[in-house]
Amino acid sequence: MTIESDEGHRPDEIRAVPLRHPGRWAATAALLVLAAMLVHDAVTNPRFGWGAVGTYFFASPVVSGVEKTLELTFIAMVVGVVLGVVFAVMRLSPNPILSGAAWLYIWFFRGTPVYVQLLFWYVISALQPTISLGIPFGPEFVTWSSNSLVTPLVAAILGFGLNEGAYYAEIVRAGILAVDHGQFEAAQSLGMRRPALMRRIVLPQAMRVIVPPTGNETISMLKTTSLAVAVTYPELFDQAQNIATRTYEVIPLYIMASFWYLLMTTVLTFGQFYIERYYARGSSYSLPLTPIQRIRRNLTTLRRIPFSPSTAGDS
C-alpha cells in the first residue's frame, strides 16, 4: 500500500449546478394567493372590528385579566409539578400501598375531563356544605363553610392543579425511568436510602427528560386557564367574554384575547428554549444556537472551507 502525498495539488472546489425545485415554487405561489385573500378579507371586512381590538387591548379589566391568567397559570403549575413529583416517586415505590394510591390518583384525574373537574370543585358546596377538621367519625374541632373556602380562584387552582399533577406524574415517571439503572445500584452500594437516592442522584438526572415537556405543559396550562370562565374567575377570557356580552363586539374581543394568548405563549416558548439549553449542558450532543448566535455566525462566516470528508470518518 502506498500513501500518496497530494500537497500542492489540492483539487478545485466543487461548483455544481444546484438542483432545481419546481414544486417549491408552485407551493409558494399557492400560499401567496391564500395569504393575499386573507389579508384582503382582514382589511375589507368591517366585522373584524380592528378598532375595537385596539381599544380593548389595554383596557384595565383586560390587563387585570392577563395578570390573573398568568397568576393562575403559575400557581396551578406549581401545584401540578409538586403533586406530579410526589406521585411519580410514589408510583415507582416498592411499597404497593403507595404505588397503588398514586395509580388511583393518576387514573382518576387523568381519566375525567378537566372542565368537569373544574365545575365539580365549583359546586362542591352542594356535596359538602361544610368542611371540618377533627377526628374521623368523631368530634369536629373547626368547621368552615365550603362556599367561603372554595372561592373561584381556589376551585380553579384545585381543578387545574390536581389535573396537571396527574399528567405531570407521568412525565416525571418517564424521566426517572430514563435514568440508567446503574445509577440506582451505585447509589445503593454506597448505602443511600431511597429518599436521598431520589433527591440527590436520580431526580437531577431525570431533569433533562422532564424539562422539555414541562415547557409544553406550561404553555398548554396558560391556554387551558381560559376554561376558568366556567367558575367565574376573572381571568383574561372571562373579562373578554364580559365585555363582549355587554357590547356585542364578540369577534373583536375573541381576536383581542387570542392575540394576548399568542403573545404570552410566544414569550414562554423563548423561555423554554433557554431553560432546555441550560439543562442540556454536559450532555454529549452540541447545544442548539440561540437566535443571536445564529445571526452572528451567519454574519461572520459567510463562507467556510468545508471539513475534509476523509478525516471526518475517523474516530
Partner 1 sequence: MAEPMVRAEAVHKRYGLVEVLKGITLQVAPREVMCLLGPSGSGKSTFLRCVNHLEKINSGRLYVDGALVGYEERGGRLHELPEREVCRRRTEIGMVFQRFNLFPHMTAFENVAVAPVLVKKEPKAEAERRAQALLQRVGLSTKVDAYPNQLSGGQQQRVAIARALAMQPKLMLFDEPTSALDPELVGEVLDVMRGLAEEGMTMIVVTHEIGFAREVGDTLVFMDEGVVVEQGAPREVIANPQHERTKAFLSKVL
Q: Which residues bind partner 1 (CB under 8 A)?
A: 180, 182-183, 185-194, 196, 200-201, 204-205, 282-284
Minimum CB separation from partner 1 for residue 175, in Å?
13
Minimum CB distance to partner 1 smaller for 41 or for 180: 180
Minimum CB distance to partner 1 smaller for 283 or for 300: 283
Minimum CB distance to partner 1 smaller for 189 or for 301: 189
Minimum CB separation from partner 1 for residue 90, in Å?
16
Specify which residues 131 forms β-bridges with: 144
Minimum CB distance to partner 1 smaller for 90 or for 201: 201
Minimum CB separation from partner 1 for residue 205, in Å?
6
Minimum CB separation from partner 1 for residue 195, in Å?
10
Minimum CB distance to partner 1 smaller for 95 or for 298: 95
Minimum CB distance to partner 1 smaller for 40 or for 200: 200
Minimum CB separation from partner 1 for residue 56, in Å?
48
Minimum CB separation from partner 1 for residue 272, in Å?
21
